[in-house]
Amino acid sequence: MCSENGDFSVSVTNEEVVAAVLPMQEYWLPLSNLDLLLPPLDVGVFFCYKNPNIITSTTNEMTFGTMVGSLKKALAQTLISYYVFAGEVVLNSMGEPEVLCNNRGVHFLEAEADVQLKNLNFYNPDQSIEGKFVPKKKNGGIIAIQATALQCGGIIVACTFDHMYTSISDLPPPTTTYANALLSRIYYITAEQLCHMQSLAVTRTKLECFSAFLWKMVACVASRNINSKKITVKMGIVVDGRKRLDNGNKESKVMIECYFGNVLSIPFGEKLVEELVKESLGYVMEFVHEFLSVATKEHFLGLVIG
């Protein structure tokens, strides 16, 4: 039976701070123009693991304690190379956020949940995952991690991080309260379904095809509104600019791939609901391709310089 309404409890059993195992020299790391373009936005990622004592033939039984111990040990080693995650975000004299690399450490939580992995409702993560398995960052922290033991012996490891590495100030509260302003859903799409969509416009990528399909579905839902003829729907796609800046040169490619920070842009398109519903999927694919085409090398260079 699926826990559709998130009707289970999660209890935090331990909290601590994990720092890099080696001492670090304190220094300031300013954010780039590309980092500052992004709004403060906490992103949660979670990984689910079945009971390791069932799926492996090891003679040494693994407990939640041993698994968490291994995680924290690995994290302390990882923070030597990815030392920025162990720092904190503060404002400089200009009022801009900067990362103080001081090895303050990562907030690490251990928890227990009275639910089995097979009973979690992954379709609606707002109820089953958010606020239960995904932790909230402490003020100024870059990242927070939570490991949760499940009744079945499985484990969920989740982390929360900010794309622009700051949690200093919140966005101003909205002047109007909207019901269901943002909904999160997780869908499973097979390769066969993606290939079928792509066959409708063979010159376009799977990403463009699926984005067009999703855009049409959102428009179909919006069309139920009595004023739908006046409503527009926007579609934005996150583009990683690293491949557009490497110039096809191996040395440049290695350098840009090793760059620690954001190289992102979010081109978007906007169409009337009526048009998106009426036109074919192939038509919408072409429009998705059109607004994505602006994310060129020159576009990203302009963001860096600007």
Q: Dump pLDDT digits (tens) for 285-304.
A: 999 999 999 988 888 888 77
Higher per-residue pLDDT: 20 or 257:
20
Domains annotated on the chain, with CATH: 10-162 (3.30.559.10), 191-305 (3.30.559.10)
d(CA 215, CA 273): 10
Judged against a pLDDT cut of 60, whether residue 60 lies above it is answered with: yes
d(CA 93, CA 11): 41
Average pLDDT over residues 225-248: 82
Q: What is the dihedral of CA 200, 210, 207, 238, to 10 degrees?
A: 150
- pLDDT confidence tier of residue 247, bands split at 50, 70 and 90: low
d(CA 70, CA 290): 47
CB 125 within 8 A of CB 98: no
Q: CB atoms < 10 A from the CB of 174, how many?
A: 8
Judged against a pLDDT cut of 90, whether residue 306 lies above it is answered with: no
Q: CB atoms < 10 A from the CB of 74, how many?
A: 11
Coil, strand or helix: which one is 199?
Answer: helix
d(CA 149, CA 162): 25
Higher per-residue pLDDT: 57 or 208:
208
User: What integer best gives the mean pLDDT of the chain?
Assistant: 83
Q: Which pLDDT does position 176 carry in this prediction?
A: 42
d(CA 147, CA 102): 25
Judged against a pLDDT cut of 50, whether residue 15 lies above it is answered with: yes
Q: Provide the whole-model pTM.
A: 0.70
CB 145 within 8 A of CB 157: yes
Tokens of residue 301, six digits: 């260079």
Higher per-residue pLDDT: 249 or 11:
11
* Lowest pLDDT segment from 116-130, 172-186, 199-213, 256-270: 172-186
- Angle, nearest 10°, between helix axes 206-222 and 281-292? 120
- Angle, nearest 10°, between helix axes 191-199 and 206-222? 90
d(CA 295, CA 242): 11
Average pLDDT over residues 21-30: 88
Q: What's the length of the chain?
A: 306
The alpha carbon of residue 146 and the mean position of all alpha carbons in its chain are separated, in whole angstroms, by: 16
